[in-house]
Amino acid sequence: MIDAPGPWASGAFTLVEGHSRIDTEPVVIDGEDRTWLQTEDRSPTVRLHANRHYWDRRRGPRLAEVEFRNDLDRDRALDMVCDSVGEVDIVTEVPHAQAERVRRSRHARLVTVDAVRALAGVIDRDADGLPLADVRARRALNLAVDRAALVRDAFGGLARPLAGLTPPTLLTVAHRAPGRLRPYQHDPAEAARLWRLTGGSSRPVRLAALEPWAAVATFVAAQWREALGIEVQVSVVPVDRERETRRRLAAKEPREWDVLLLEQGSQSVDVPPLELHRAFVGRSGEFRAGPVDPTFERLFADLVAQTSQLRQVVAANRIDRYVTEQALALFLVAPKVLYAVNRDVDFDPYATSFELADTSVRDGHWSLR
């Protein structure tokens, strides 16, 4: 991260004002494996100017200046991009519940991307009083969820059902083939049968969600109650408790939930298991809640051993298949990422990050008048 402005590098833009950094605190996951808890520290304005030395002329930069406004919260920013011109041009990470509002806007349009992100549940395989160490119970939790209804009701159609942990995008087709994985079917009867075979639960299941996914937790809980006939207690982790929740999970300390819903992304589609499957299941996984799985470790080591991209895809496919068959997470959906964008801005989003090198403004844009 860049602590201060300066002509430090060769990217499409140069940081000329402000900072956007994080304060970090280490958490030991296992042995030498660590992750870092992060607390944001941003100046009210962060300003970038075009780097005229940038080598990739076809890509950009096409904008002279980018101003990040950190003095506005998301709701106020959405008001501005939808209802005015000149204050805000792009709002990222628009909540799905706000999509229709952006669509109806006079000044903004809704831009979406099939992001490489997975909304999934961490399943605590060590949970006392629950059969979650048993693959049949974990499959039951997955079979009880109607993903098509979840996509429709909680995401307004702007998500894709998840099969395994590799988000379905054009470029992950190969990772999910051959014998292409399908999402767990919604099969309440089979879910109930499997749950009964495990002996069932001696207490309620505690389903928690990070705050953005509260409605999803309510949806999933209702389906578990109906399909499995179990009691489900839903809790939402407030923003000011998220860091501690992440710390306890990463440090493998006792948890206040049995299944935790969170979203995790990958910085590329080349090897999704590095940031997704490993995070949920691996020895070094910051989200692993349960014992280390030797089979997974062997499959991951096989992935690391491949330098051929084709062999990496095959190895990643094996990992995804194993994690899915063992139901080592609650696979829900891959939410699309939504942006509200001024109509005079040509912005084409990236699947894994937020980059503006090839963004441009049209002749009618306020900044050119």
Partner 1 sequence: MSVLPGPRREPRGTVRVVDPSPLNWLYITYNTVEEPVRVTRRGKVRPAAMSRYRWRDSTTLEIKVRSDNRFADGTPLTADSVRRAAEEQFRWESPHPPGTHFNIDRRSRVEVVDDRTVRLHLPAVDGLALGKLRATHVMSERFWRDLGFGYARDESGEGHW
CB of 174 to partner 1, least distance (A): 11
By CB under 8 A, what part of segment 188-247 binds partner 1?
Answer: none
Q: How far is CA 156 from CA 86, 105, 365, in A?
A: 29, 17, 30
C-alpha radius of gyration, the chain, whole number: 22
Nearest to 149 by CA among 222, 205, 209: 222
Tell the smallest beta-carbon distance from residue 344 to partner 1 (Å).
Answer: 9
Whichever of 72 and 236 has its CB closer to partner 1, that residue is: 72
- Cα–Cα distance between 98 and 197 in angstroms, integer? 42
334 binds partner 1 (CB under 8 A): no
Q: Contact letters (x/-) for partner 1, 48-87, by CB under 8 A?
A: x-xxxx-xxxx-xxxxxxxxxxx-xxx--x---x----xx
CB of 269 to partner 1, least distance (A): 4
Instruction: Report if residue 367 touches partner 1, rule: CB under 8 A.
Output: yes
Rounded-to-integer distance, Cα 318 and Cα 324, Å = 10
> With 0-12 CB in 10 A as exposed, 13-18 as middle and 19+ as buried, what is 269?
buried
Is residue 174 near partner 1 by the rule CB under 8 A?
A: no
Q: How far is the CB of 129 from partner 1 (least distance, A)?
A: 31
Q: Can residue 187 be called a binding residue for partner 1 (CB under 8 A)?
A: no
101 binds partner 1 (CB under 8 A): no
Regarding 294 and contact with partner 1 (CB under 8 A), the answer is: no
Closest to partner 1 by CB, 44 or 199: 44
Q: Which amino acid is it at 124?
A: D
Least distance between partner 1 and beta carbon 297 (Å):
13
Query: Does 106 sit near partner 1 (CB under 8 A)?
Result: no
When binding is defined by CB under 8 A, the residue of 106, 170, 189, 254 that contacts partner 1 is 170
Q: Rule CB under 8 A: choose which of 142, 201, 223, 312 binds partner 1.
A: 312
Q: Does 356 bind partner 1 (CB under 8 A)?
A: yes
Q: How many chain residues touch partner 1 (CB under 8 A)?
A: 104
Nearest one of 342, 341, 345 to 358, comparing CA atoms:
345
Stretch that binds partner 1, among 35-43, 102-110, 145-153, 219-227 (CB under 8 A): 35-43
Shortest Cβ 99–partner 1 spacing (Å): 15
* Minimum distance from residue 115 beta carbon to partner 1 (Å): 9
- The region of 33-41, 118-126, 130-138, 153-161 touching partner 1 under the rule CB under 8 A is 33-41
For residue 15, the cross-strand partners are 6, 48
Which window, 144-152, 182-190, 214-222, 359-367, contacts partner 1 (CB under 8 A)? 359-367
Q: Using the rule CB under 8 A, is 24 a contact of partner 1?
A: yes
Phi, psi of 151 (to 5 degrees): -60, -45
Q: With CB under 8 A as the contact rule, which of the stretches 148-156, 181-189, 223-231, 342-350 interacts with partner 1?
A: 342-350
Which of 102, 108, 116, 313 touches partner 1 (CB under 8 A)? Answer: 116
